[in-house]
Amino acid sequence: AQSVTQLDSQVPVFEEAPVELRCNYSSSVSVYLFWYVQYPNQGLQLLLKYLSGSTLVKGINGFEAEFNKSQTSFHLRKPSVHISDTAEYFCAVRRTGANNLFFGTGTRLTVIP
């Protein structure tokens, strides 16, 4: 079995400040990792994904994430947030050999002017 934990349900941060959204997973096999963003009244949009290779993955809108196998983490970071980054962010995991994506419960990022 596997699970995805997003410990922070809400993260308020001031505009132009850095942010880190945490994601930890549990799996006994190799995994593929994804971050999705959901803006108000919209569906999920892929931010970035880790499949293999470099553990530092760069995505859209200036976001990046680092895969840390020893800590089973895939935290999302941005050095300077904008008001437009206010949204819900979901971490998801797929283990090798499976079709299913397992999602975390989401982190609501609120950027304060």
Partner 1 sequence: ETGVTQTPRHLVMGMTNKKSLKCEQHLGHNAMYWYKQSAKKPLELMFVYNFKEQTENNSVPSRFSPECPNSSHLFLHLHTLQPEDSALYLCASSPGTEGWTDTQYFGPGTRLTVL
Interacting residue ranges for partner 1, rule: CB under 8 A: 4, 32, 34, 36, 41-46, 49, 51, 90, 94, 96-106
Tokens standing for residue 70: 């020893």
Compare residues 26 and 80 and give the one whose CB is closer to partner 1. 26
Compare residues 10 and 84 and give the one whose CB is closer to partner 1. 10
Start-to-end CA span in the chain (Å): 41
Compare residues 32 and 61 and give the one whose CB is closer to partner 1. 32
Q: Please give the backbone phi and psi of residue 95, each rounded to the nearest 5 degrees, phi first.
A: -90, 155
How many beta carbons lie within 10 A of that of residue 52, not counting itself? 8
